[in-house]
Amino acid sequence: MLSHRSNILLLSFTIFLFNTLIPNISKAQLQLNQDITKQISNYLLVQYGIEPEDENHIHSFYKNRYFESAWFKIDGQLNDNALALINYAQNHEYANQLISKDLDNLLYEYTKQQPSHLLNKTSLLGAIEIRLSKLFLKTAIVNLNGLVKPEDIAGIAWNITPRYVNLPQMMDKALHLENISGELNGLLPQNKAYYTLKEYLKTYKYIATQGGWPTVPETAIKLELGDTSEVVKVLKARLIITQDLDAIHFNGLVYNDAVLEGVKHFQQRHGLHTDGVIGKNTLQNLNISVEERIRQIQLNLERFKWLPDLSNRGDKYIWVNIPHYKLKLFNQGQLLTEQNVVTGAKRSQTPCFDSYITDIVINPYWNVPYSIAKDEIAPKVSEDTQYLLEKNYEVINGWGTNRVMDSVGHLDWKDKSLHRNYRFRQKPGPGNALGVLKFNLPNPWSIYLHDTPSKSTFLREKRAYSHGCIRVQNPDQLATLLFNGQQGLDEEKLSEKINSRKTQTILLKDHVNVFIVYMTSGIDENGKLQLFEDVYGRDAKIDERLRSLLM
C-alpha cells in the first residue's frame, strides 16, 4: 500500500508525463488506478527505447518503486538527493565521462525556467528524471567495476569473478537514506591498500610538480660499499624523494651502510634482489620517470576494482601476483607464508583467474600437453630414441586410457597425426617436471601449482619461464600449511609419503580459494608502495583502452 505522500508524488509525476505523451486526453480522465505502470512504461519506451519487458536496471528500479519520481519534489524542484548526485558526479575523477552533454544541456535548460512554470515542462522534467537515474547507475558501475572493464580489453587474460551488487536496490537504498555519496563510495574497493595507493598517487603527483627526481648516472653500477663519489649524492637525492632513504643522510659522498640499506629498501619495493648492489635492473627502475610511475599507479587503481572484496576471499586463501613472482598464503588476514614462484613465459602467459584447491598429488605423473609433446618432445625423440628412457617418459595409447605402450620404436613422431592417438607421460621421480607435489585447482586452462626439479630459477630476479603453470619454491611447506594436520598430514607424514615414491592423491577438506592476479602496483603488508615490471605488457593494453575513453 502506497503512503499518502507517495500517492501524491506518483500522481503528480504521472500527470506531467501523461500530458506530454497523450495531450488529447483530459486530466479528468486520468485515475490513479488506470494502469499507471503502462503510462510510465510508454514514456520510457518512446523517449529512450526501453521496453517494459526489458530486465534492465532503469526499468527494474522504477518498477520496484511503483514508478515514483526519484529526483524531484512534488513542485517540480530537484530534491536534495538529486543535488547530491550531481555534486558527487561533478567531483568524480571521471566526471567528464559520467555527465553527458545531453544531461548538461537539460540541466541548463531547467535552471532557466521559472519555478512556477516547472510543472508545465513535463517533457524536460521526465528527461532529467531518467538521465539522473542513469547517471547514478553509471557512476555506481564505474565505482564497482571500473571505467575500463577486463572483458573490453583483448589480450589481458583476466577471468576473475567481478564484484556484484544489485544496483537498482542499492540506488533505492541510497535515496531512502538520503546518503548518495556514502552509498556510492561504499561501492569502491573497501580495501586499505586501495586508499593507501590513492595517497601515494597524490604524493607522486606532487613530486611531479616539483620536477620529479634526478637521473642516476650509469656509473652508479660500479659503486661498492665504502666508495666516495659525486654519484652517491645524486643517488641519495633520488632515494630520499621516494622515502627509501631518510633525509638526514643527504650530506656526504660515501656509499655507506645507510645508503646501502636505502638501495635495498628500493629494491624490495620493486621486486628486485635486495642485495644493495646497483645492477642493470635496479638502475633502470631508479630512472623510470615519475610520470610513468603515476600512470602505473592509476592503471592499478582501476585494476583494484576488478579484485574480489576481502570478505569474499575466504578465511584461508592463496594470492599469486604474476609480476611480483610471489605466492602468499593468508589465514584470517594473517600472512602465513610468502614464496617465490615461476610463472608463464611471455609466449605462454599465465592467465588470471579465481579457483580453489581441491587436492594435492604426491609424486605425480606429468601428462605432457599436446603443444609441448608436438613442438618439444617429439623432435627430440625422432633424433634420439633413448630420449624417452633418459627422461623417464612413457607413451600412452589414447587420451582416455592409461595403457602404456611396451614398444614405440616403430612410431614416426614426425607424423603430427600421431599425437591424436598417443601421448607422452613422465613417470614420478627426481626429474619429473612437476617435482614431488602438485596442487590441483579447477580451471579451463589446465593451470595448477606444482613443485619443480629446476630450483635455480627461483633465485632469478625475473621468473617468467614456465609453460603457464605456477612453480612453487617450497611446496612441502605450502602443503603442510594448507592441510594443517588434516588426515594426519603433518610435515613428517608428508615427507614419508614423498619418500615412498608412490603416487597418492589427498583431498583437501577445507575450502582454500586461489586468486591468480596481475598487479604491477600495490601496497605491501607494511604499507609501502610496490611497483613491478609489466612483464606481459598488459598495462599498455589497459592504458590504451582507458585513454580512448577519456578522449
Catalytic residues: 450, 469
What is the CB neighbour count within 10 angstroms for residue 445?
14
Neighbouring residues of 260: CB distance < 8 A, sequence distance ≥ 6: 225, 276
* CB-based contacts of 292, cutoff 8 Å, min separation 6: none
Other CB atoms within 10 Å distance of the CB of residue 265:
18
DSSP, collapsed to helix, strand or coil, labels residue 305 as coil
Do you know the residue count of the chain?
Answer: 551
How far apart are alpha carbons 112 and 344 in whole angstroms?
61
CA distance 263 to 257: 10
- Which residues, including other chains, have CB under 8 Å from residue 163's CB and lie 6 or more apart? 144, 145, 305, 307, 308, 309, 312
Distance of alpha carbon 75 from alpha carbon 151, whole angstroms: 44
Q: What stretch of H or E contains 339?
A: strand 334-344
Coil, strand, or helix at residue 38?
helix
What's the CA gap between 378 and 416, in Å, rounded? Answer: 9
For residue 356 the three cell numbers come to: 580453489
Give the CA angle between residues 96, 540, 192 to the nearest 5°: 70
Residues 6+ apart with CB under 8 A from 36: 10, 14, 66, 67
